[in-house]
Amino acid sequence: MVVNWLPDKPKTFSLYPAFIGRSKPKDRVKRQAVARQVKLEGNRNMKEIRFVEWAQVLAQSQLPERQKRSWEITLRWYLSFCRRGRASVTVQSARDFIAWAQAEKQAQPWQIEEWKEAIN
């Protein structure tokens, strides 16, 4: 007996997910940050912030050199966080960054306040 079985639709297979798989956050705070990021990506009403010349403005400010350098490091770290997560620069992504950095670095309260001040 010969059975001719043909699928209704052609199937496409991708090897990429099978080899790479999805990465899973290791702890609860990271999972919450990822969940907020997914929620943020779905929110089209969030206003994206564009301030291309921030480094020049910071360099020309009247702040002490030590504070300028600290803020520059924090801002570059935040922008890198946004780039890695493919997130826009928004108020919510800044909040997510602070939550992630606090959990990841187990920072002291004074450090967290410095990071927030730099991003604001």
pTM over 0.85: no
pLDDT recorded at residue 33: 62
Does 22 fall in a domain? no
Residue 115 DSSP code: H
Does 36 fall in a domain? yes
Does 53 fall in a domain? yes
Q: In this predicted model, what pLDDT tens digit does every residue of 63-92 receive, in sequence order?
A: 999 999 999 999 999 999 989 988 888 889
Element (H, E) at 95: helix 91-105
- Domain span at residue 70 reads 30-42+49-119
Chain centroid to CA 18: 25
Does 70 fall in a domain? yes
Does 75 fall in a domain? yes
